[in-house]
Each structure stands twice: as C-alpha cells, then as structure tokens.
C-alpha cells in the first residue's frame, strides 16, 4: 500500500523498459500507414548489450548466453573489404553494436529476429534457421543455397561452418552476425533514403560507408520533394503512397517505409507491430513522452517501477527492467494516478482527465468507478488521509489543498499551505 504522498505532475521523460513478460490484455490497433514512429526507430540507446542478453536469457532463447551461443563481433566496414568481424561475442553484443553504429533501435532488431525466424523465443534452433536469422537476402521466390567454410556461429565451443538449403543468396550474407549487421544497415539506409537523405553515411573509426551516397534507392518514399540518387539534378515530389498487397498505403514515417521495403506485405508487418507492441509498447508512440510511475503492483510490500507509454501501461514487479503486466487504459493525454483504492494491498492505476477521475482496481483498463472533482487545472495528489487502508484523491490548487476521503468529489477538509 502507498503510505506516503504521491504527487503526479505531467512531467515527461524517457524511461527504458527491457521487455514484456506478459502480453497486453488488449492490443494496440495497427495503422498500416504508420507502423513505427521515427523517434522510436532511431532510439539506439533503448537497450545495451547486457539488457539484450538478459532479455534473451529470460526467454531461454537459442541465441542466449545461457544456451552457450556466441557469434563474431561486427567491428567495421569499408568499400574495399566490406564488413569486418572480430572475435566471438554474445548475441546481445552483436545486436547492440550493430544498432549503435547505424543508429537503429535494437528492439527493432529483436522483433525482426522474432518475426522472421521466431529465434528470440525458440529454445532450439537449427543451423539453417540461425544462418538466415533476419531473413536478409531472402527475396520472395528466391532459390536454395548451400555454403561451407563460414563462421556462422558458435555454441558451447563448437563453431558451425556449413549450412544447406537456405534462402540467403550469398555466402557473405549467411550467419547470425552477417544477417544482423546487414539487416541493420538496410533498415537504417532505407529509412534515410525514403526521407530523401541521399548524403547519409556512417563514417567513424573502422566504419566507412562512404560508398552509400552513391547508391540509388528503389524503395517507398515519404511525402515531399525527394531525391532517390545523390546524382539526381532535381528533387521529385512524392505523395508518400505505395502499393502494398494491392492497396495504397501512405508512408507516414521513414521507419514505416523502411519496414515495407524489408517486408513488402501487410501480414508480415502486422506481425512486427504486434510483437513490438507486446514486448516494448506501441511503436507509433514517441517514447520520449513516457511518464514514470511507481507502486506496489503485486502486494509484496515493495514499490516498483511502471511506465505510461501513450495509453499503454507497463508494470515491473521486481525492478529488473522487464515488464510483468501490460494493459491499455484511457487516453494518451490522461494524467495517471496510483493508489490502493480498495485496501487489498495492491496499487493500481487511476486517471485524471480534466476534472474527471477514473479509478481502476484491476490491471484490465476498466474503471471500477468515476467521479468529478475540482477543476481541470488542479494537480492530483494521492494518499490514505484517514488511516483506513484506502488511498483517495486530493487536489492542489495554487497553495490550497483539498482532501477527499471518499470517491465522491466532495472534500472532507481543505487548508492553505503557508511557507
């Protein structure tokens, strides 16, 4: 139970969430014109290598450290030699290093691994599956190929070097790290080109993608005056529409255009959207506007962290960065309040919308009751004001406080706070 005062202001800051152990009870509705917000797509710092490895270990993934998995570290690129690789590292390190160098959200890579090969949640994976982990260079209607003499991955000290009957159309593209780093580049390259950024290239340290600006782009374009090639004499106006599965779809963001270039079908991108939403929250909502929460979500006497992400709530029961419960509730603009509203020892979420309050005793997005109280500009405060075990809502208006012991919008007492 919350015994101290909670004051929830509409102060927004970024909060990183490592994953979701339970899927939400309600799914965000997909907008095929907007699969992901560009700010989400570009958030390369959402998870570090250790957090990714923990995420994989929690799912007993066949590419987790717990399974003995490792693969070459992507350490550079240049136009003459192509991608360069170092010694073996964990899958989390491969994903994190790839994401960091190209400025891509590593959660996008985790979801793509799951979408393509279910590799994040599979406890056993064949060499065939791992060698084509991201589905990169596996076009629709492609052929079947066999390779040997490669460093595909290592498990428990055994390095796997041969694979047969895979869709990957070149030996240099086969293998876990080879798939991850190339897919990362393609996803970010496609986003930037769809926005008309023909000069985009990563040139830092061992990474020299100086050949990128000379590469023309053939994927979907976002709306506006754009060049497909840096050599184009003038920009062309694009309306942002492209045909997907026989219907016209608008590329609202560069990330959306990139995902359609990678998987030019609605079904595959619906799968991406649903996985991302269940693990990390709605990808169309800018995470920089997440609102932090705290409460005793499971009645163990310890307050832990939660996050309001748009109108989705993500709750962590043990402060390990993994979300244990997720649900949708109210509107994105609602102000969240937290309390033990029914004296059962568990804190749940309520909402302030203008001067209307919604109280939820479960984690299901359904209000147990609602009432009007004060003004829309009032700041809500929550506490057990009469020591009956039930938290109720009070208000701050200027330097005046209104305390309510019921859920009826009538203040039991009020006072001025004097400095």
CATH number for the domain including 408? 2.40.128
Q: Are residues 275 and 338 in the same domain?
A: no
The answer to whether residue 196 sits within a structural domain is: yes
Per residue in 68-127, pLDDT (tens digit) is: 999 999 999 999 999 999 999 999 999 999 999 999 999 999 999 999 999 999 999 999
Q: Please tell me whether residues 345 and 228 are part of one structural domain.
A: no
Query: What's the mean pLDDT when you consider all of the chain?
Result: 90
Final residue belonging to a domain, choices 245, 263, 280: 280
Cα gap 314→323, rounded to integer Å: 6
Note whether residue 3 is domain-resident: no
* Whether residue 13 has pLDDT greater than 60: no
pLDDT given at position 341 = 95
Tokens of 42: 């570009």
Number of structural domains (the chain) is 2
- 280, 301, 318 - which closes a domain: 280
CA 258 – CA 53 distance, rounded (Å)? 26
Residues 249 and 369 in one domain: no
pLDDT (average), residues 339-367: 92
Domain interval for residue 351:
285-416
| 270 φ, ψ (degrees, to nearest 5) | -65, -40
Please say which residue of 256, 280, 304 terminates a domain. 280
| Chain center to CA of 77 | 27
- Assess whether 248 and 293 both reside in one domain: no
Give the confidence band of 141 by pLDDT, cuts at 50, 70, 90: confident
Burial of 362 (0-12, 13-18, 19+ CB in 10 A): middle
Say yes or no to pLDDT of 170 above 50: yes
Residues 332 and 258 in one domain: no
For residue 419, the model assigns a pLDDT of 67
CB 27 within 8 A of CB 274: yes
Most confident of the following: 5-9, 25-29, 161-165, 369-373 = 161-165
**φ and ψ at 366, to 5 degrees?**
-110, 125
213 domain-assigned = yes
């Amino acid at each position: 139970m919350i015994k101290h005062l909670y004051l929830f202001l509409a102060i927004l800051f970024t909060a990183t969430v490592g994953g979701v152990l339970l899927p939400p009870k309600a799914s965000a509705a997909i907008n095929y014109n907007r699969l992901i917000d560009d700010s989400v797509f570009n958030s390369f710092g959402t998870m570090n290598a250790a957090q990714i490895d923990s995420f994989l270990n929690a799912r007993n993934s066949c590419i987790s450290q717990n399974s003995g998995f490792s693969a070459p570290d992507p350490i550079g690129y240049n136009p003459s030699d192509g991608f360069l690789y170092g010694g073996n590292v964990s899958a989390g390190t491969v994903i994190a290093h790839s994401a960091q160098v190209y400025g891509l959200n590593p959660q996008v890579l985790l979801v793509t691994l799951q979408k393509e090969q279910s590799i994040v949640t599979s406890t056993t994976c064949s060499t065939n599956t791992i060698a084509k982990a991201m589905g990169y260079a596996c076009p629709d209607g492609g052929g079947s190929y066999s390779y040997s003499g490669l460093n595909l991955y290592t498990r428990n000290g055994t390095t796997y070097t041969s694979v047969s009957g895979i869709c990957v159309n070149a030996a240099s593209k086969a293998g876990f790290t080879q798939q991850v780093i190339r897919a990362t580049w393609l996803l970010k390259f496609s986003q930037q080109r769809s926005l008309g950024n023909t000069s985009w290239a990563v040139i830092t340290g061992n990474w020299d993608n100086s050949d990128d600006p000379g590469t023309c782009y053939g994927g979907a374009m976002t709306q506006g005056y754009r060049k497909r090639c840096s050599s184009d004499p003038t920009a062309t106006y694009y309306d942002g529409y492209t045909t997907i599965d026989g219907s016209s779809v608008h590329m609202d963001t560069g990330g959306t255009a990139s995902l359609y270039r990678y998987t030019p079908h609605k079904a595959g991108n619906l799968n991406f959207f649903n996985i991302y939403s269940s693990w990390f929250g709605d990808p169309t909502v800018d995470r920089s506007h997440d609102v932090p929460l705290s409460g005793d979500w499971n009645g163990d006497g310890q307050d832990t962290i939660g996050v309001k992400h748009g109108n989705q709530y993500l709750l962590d029961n043990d402060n390990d960065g993994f979300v244990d419960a997720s649900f949708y509730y109210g509107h994105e603009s609602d102000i969240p309040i937290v309390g033990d509203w029914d004296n059962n020892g568990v804190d749940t979420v309520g909402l302030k919308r203008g001067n209307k309050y919604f109280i939820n005793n479960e984690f299901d997005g359904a209000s147990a009751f609602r009432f009007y109280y004060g003004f829309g500009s009032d700041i809500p405060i929550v506490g057990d004001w009469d020591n009956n075990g039930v938290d109720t809502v009070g208000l701050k208006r200027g330097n005046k406080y209104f305390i309510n012991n019921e859920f009826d919008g009538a203040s039991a007492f009020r006072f001025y706070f004097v400095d």
